Amino acid sequence: MMPSLFIAHGSPTLAIEDNLYTQYLTALGKALPKPKAIVLFSAHWVSPVQKVSNVDEFKMIYDFYGFPDEMYDIVYPAKGYRDVTIDIVDLFKEHGISVDETRGLDHGAWVVLRLLYPNADVPVISMSVNPNLSPEEQYKIGASLSKLREKDILIIGSGGTVHNLRALNWSKQSGEADQWAIEFDNWIRDHINKWDLDSLFKYDAIAPNAGLAVPPYGNEHFVPIFYAMGAADNEKKAKLIHSSYRYGNLSHSVWQFG
């Protein structure tokens, strides 16, 4: 069965960089069985209603400002997969869903996908996230799609466990991470490994440094982990397959579920 993944998409500049994290994601794409399609929940598509893309070929969304000019020339010509979109709509009947015929790929999606599958030869279905839902509801949405993994479809949540732009030290490219970020990620790791949903669903109240790691204005980057985790509810197995930091506390975590 295809796993589900949570992948930190980091800074948009990963798209033009060659470093340990980009090398890891490239190697991961080669190591995974090639999926029939990818369903990707992106932190950069926020909607109060669950939305799913339904396009033949995605347009690019350059949802960032002030970056090198070459980043705005990147094209990742991912194609959609309408049959899988129909499957998702059927699975979501009890949740309510809106099909989006025009949605392009934001950088939370294409930065990750371009590193995993640089030839854009795997169809993609883009999914919105709703940070205003409870973690339990986000988990249930992911769980409702778990059957897709039996059809060789890879489910990805793209975001970041520690993603507080106001706390970053942009001059600190690598090296030792801030202790508060490590403590939060260690707590998350321990409770994911135990599949301790009761604690995880209350992370904002009980995890150390939660308000700093997941600020109220930025929790959309954390919640994709619940969608990805929910997609493996039938197995409840988790493995942290990569962990590193940049800019002092920007977490580059990759979790494999299932």
For residue 11, give Cα distances in angstroms to 8, 31, 44, 100: 9, 24, 12, 26
pTM for this prediction: 0.96
CA distance linking residue 201 with residue 91, whole number of Å = 23
Provide the residue count of the chain: 258
Q: Are strands 124-129 and 98-100 parallel, antiparallel or unpaired?
A: unpaired
Helix (H) or strand (E) holding 52: strand 51-53
Domains of the chain with bracketed CATH: 4-257 (3.40.830.10)
Mean pLDDT for each 10-residue chunk of the chain (258 residues)?
97 95 98 97 95 95 96 97 94 78 95 98 97 96 95 98 94 87 98 98 98 93 98 97 96 98
Distance CA 212, CA 171 (A): 19
CB 104 within 8 A of CB 59: yes
64 token code pair: 């960032």
pLDDT of residue 210: 98
Give the C-alpha separation, 115 to 233, whole Å.
Answer: 27
Closest CA to 124 of 106, 138, 97, 150: 106
pLDDT at res. 176: 85
Q: Which tokens is 134 given? A: 């409870």
